[in-house]
Structure 1
Amino acid sequence: MRTRALSLLLALALAGSFFSPSVAITDTIDLTTSITGNQTLLSAGGVFQLGFFSPTGARTYLGIWYASIPNKTIVWVANRNNPLVRTPGVLNLTSDGRLVIFDRRNSTVWSSPAPTTENQITTRAAAQLRDNGNFLLSSDGSGSPESVAWQSFDYPTDTLLPGMKLGMDLKKRLNWNITSWSSATDPSSGIYTFKLIMGGLPEFFLFRGPEVIYASGPFNGAGLTGVPNLRSPSFVFKVVSTRDETYYSYAVTDPSLLSRFAVNGEAGRVQRYVWTNGNWSSFWYYPSDPCDSYAMCGPFGYCDMTATPLCSCLPGFRPLSQQRWDLRDATGGCVRSTKLTCAGAGDGFWPMDRMKLPQATNATMYADMALDRCRQVCLANCSCRAYSAANMSGGVSRGCVIWGIDLLDMRQYSGVVQDVYIRLAQSEVDALSAAGLYF
């Protein structure tokens, strides 16, 4: 009787594990193991889980989500544009060093790229889910930086976690972009993408299809000039720009704080969330006000949330169409009130203080040029519209950037005391000075 009771208890335990929503086996798979069905990987500290999920029941994906949050919050999807329809799926690490998802007919649904020649796979190769949410394939199982053959952090979906990079690695030819889900139940690539555009000064743009709807402002060495609230006691933000890579990243000062930065496809914005009181709370989002709309005031116009109307022309400029301007349509922008002379002392400059720098991806940056020299170079080139310091790190001006294009997407806050010097006919500069106007 006792034997029968023990057998029954064992059977019930096995049945319970079989029908449970997920079965965490370990944090690592190697050449001899795999995950399938409701099996999952659980990071060592129990922060993240990796496995198969089906948002609608008809299509299945391999993803990563927070293990401790009741409602699955997916932060990464492997096969977002190629779902499994013949389940169960299997995730294997193959002998040639690729992570591969097979369907029940053994057809390949998704595969990570083959390792480079620098990271040849050994028999000790392993892929580990880490507590930061990174799924990392190590060629020798050590997990050391030099052994990394592939990692999910290099292939974001819609979410940026602490430690992930948003930008570009020129050496490895990686683009770290985040793209919205198509809908709340469809992780395939949506229409909103937030990404870095390289140029004179790097800048991040939110696209809706091919259309830019928001820009962060150029990076000036101290910050993104259109994002004044990057500083927070809970977060450490940084933008790094070197010869090999340019990226934005963040860290949390409290390891227990769960935070994610994502493209919200339903709202059409980029948004930071923090987990508090059992819910995801919106910490901040962009665009957050009408002045955040890209190039809202057109060429040579700027936006001011404290003014009515919101759009104004830069000093020395007037609306291209006063009729449209009166109807609150400023997208046509502004034109010069007085033409440039393009001759030495015939032109001057008017400083605009604490501005979100104009879009600078098509501007020209001179890393070692002093501002006085920059002024002379601008005056010598009739197509030059403005100049400013290129780098304000430490509060000290270094280098310069010159705009030979129409000035777009300007607005009063930068978080950094920085002037943009607008080129005007000297007569306009004298008139503004006499009127005591300062901006």
Structure 2
Amino acid sequence: MKSLANYIFFLILTLFCSQTCIINIPSVAAITSMKPGDPVEKKLWIANPNTPILNSSGLLTLDSAGTLKITSGGKTVVNIATPLLTGSLIARFQDSGNFVVQDETRNRTLWQSFDHPTSCLLPGMKLGYNLTTRQNWTLTSWLVSSTIPASGAFTLSLEAIQDAFQLVVSRRGEVYWTSGAWNNQGFPFLPSFRDSATTYQYNLNLESGTDGMFFQFEATKGSFPSLELFSDGAIAAGDGSIYTRYNKFCYGYGGDDGCVSSQLPECRKDSDKFEQKRGDFIDLSGTTTSIL
């Protein structure tokens, strides 16, 4: 993995300890990236998307047994138990954006955030599964992109469909969109992967064997691509450019854009589509906001 010199990665929590250490943390523990000169931060990985800490009492600890915990008010919010080993344990943030717990004595990684993706896929991360370790790598959308990191309705996975490997977006467990069959160059319904005119360039790789399969990509020179699964099921680049070809939604009618056919209510016609007109929501402060 090359050094990503054009981007700054930082972890809201950073710790180095051989016994037990405690630090204060905010409501969400997140890995964030920022490009020098660009004030916009992008959260790439969330430790506790569904268990936010609603006050300032959050603590993160790493003990000599290799257990990484986030606690709040005496209750455990996140508990990551690594294999019980003796030696010098360290939690390290790598240049790739990977947060790891390592046994320095044996030079062994005990746990890594790359094995537990949330909504973003970075160079070197995987989508797929390993039958030997029973590790499954999938993306899960935020409930509301950029604002509410709780698990949303959509997941992105790599699946074997009709003897072909495809990326699959599912909505609440039902197949919503497929990428088309992998052809050693990319996926038919994600043409921007191979488009030299796009902002980011991808070196794609798909490997399969008796113990599983996975898809990943690497960064080319001068580029740091990422993939994000938005809360509406769209697949986007690191700058927010949409890669999926359908227009806003898949309505269950099928088509040549990857949208799959689904069982529709009898009251719906093939030409029926939804259009947002107006709505209101109330945030945690109790303020009502209108959506036009």
Query: Which TM-score applies when normalising by structure 2?
Result: 0.72
Equivalent residue for 2:167, pick from 174, 179, 204: 204
Ranges in structure 1 where 5+ consecutive residues have no aligned partner = 1-22, 38-51, 54-59, 274-279, 306-326, 330-439
Distance in structure 2 (CA, Å) of the matches to 1:281 and 1:201: 28
Tell me the residue number matched to 2:3. Answer: none
Tell me the residue number matched to 1:131. Answer: 95
Distance in structure 2 (CA, Å) of the matches to 1:141 and 1:110: 26
| Contact residue 17 and residue 90 of structure 2 kept, 8 A | yes
Q: Deviations over 1:99-153 (max 9, x none)?
A: 1112243x321011332xxxx42331111101111001112366x4xx1111000
Amino acid of the structure 2 residue aligned with 1:230: F
Distance in structure 1 (CA, Å) of the matches to 2:270 and 2:179: 24
Identity within the alignment, %:
29
Tell me the residue number matched to 1:195. Answer: 157
Tell me the residue number matched to 2:32. Answer: 65
Q: Deviations over 1:273-313 (max 9, x none)?
A: 2xxxxxx351x411x136x959744xxxx7499xxxxxxxx
How many pairs are equivalent? 244
Amino acid of the structure 2 residue aligned with 1:113: A
Q: Which has the larger radius of gyration?
A: 1
Distance in structure 1 (CA, Å) of the matches to 2:251 and 2:105: 46
Aligned-residue CA RMSD in angstroms?
Answer: 3.1
Q: Deviations over 1:235-294 (max 9, x none)?
A: 211111122231111111125x343210111x4311112xxxxxx351x411x136x959
Ranges in structure 2 where 5+ consecutive residues have no aligned partner = 1-9, 259-268, 272-292
Q: Deviations over 1:361-388 (max 9, x none)?
A: xxxxxxxxxxxxxxxxxxxxxxxxxxxx
Tell me the residue number matched to 1:74. Answer: 43
Q: Aligned in 2, Cα 1:253/1:294: closer, same or farther, shift over 3 Å? A: farther
| Contact residue 159 and residue 260 of structure 1 kept, 8 A | yes
Distance in structure 2 (CA, Å) of the matches to 1:96 and 1:182: 34
Q: Aligned in 2, Cα 1:281/1:157: closer, same or farther, shift over 3 Å? A: closer
| Contact residue 34 and residue 90 of structure 1 kept, 8 A | no
Query: Which TM-score applies when normalising by structure 1?
Result: 0.50
Distance in structure 2 (CA, Å) of the matches to 1:262 and 1:113: 28
Match of 2:114, SS? helix
Tell me the residue number matched to 1:285. Answer: 243
Equivalent residue for 2:18, pick from 12, 18, 31: 31
Higher helix share: 1
Distance in structure 1 (CA, Å) of the matches to 2:215 and 2:100: 21
| Contact residue 130 and residue 212 of structure 2 kept, 8 A | yes
What does 1:12-23 align with in structure 2 at a 5 Å threshold? none
Distance in structure 2 (CA, Å) of the matches to 1:198 and 1:100: 36
Amino acid of the structure 2 residue aligned with 1:202: F
What does 1:7-406 align with in structure 2 at a 5 Å threshold? 28-32=15-19, 34=21, 36-37=23-24, 52-53=25-26, 60-68=27-35, 70-105=39-74, 107-115=75-83, 120-140=84-104, 144=107, 147-183=108-144, 184-198=146-160, 200-221=163-184, 223-232=186-195, 234-255=201-222, 257-265=223-231, 267-273=232-238, 280-282=239-241, 284-286=242-244, 288-289=245-246, 293=250, 296-297=253-254, 303=256
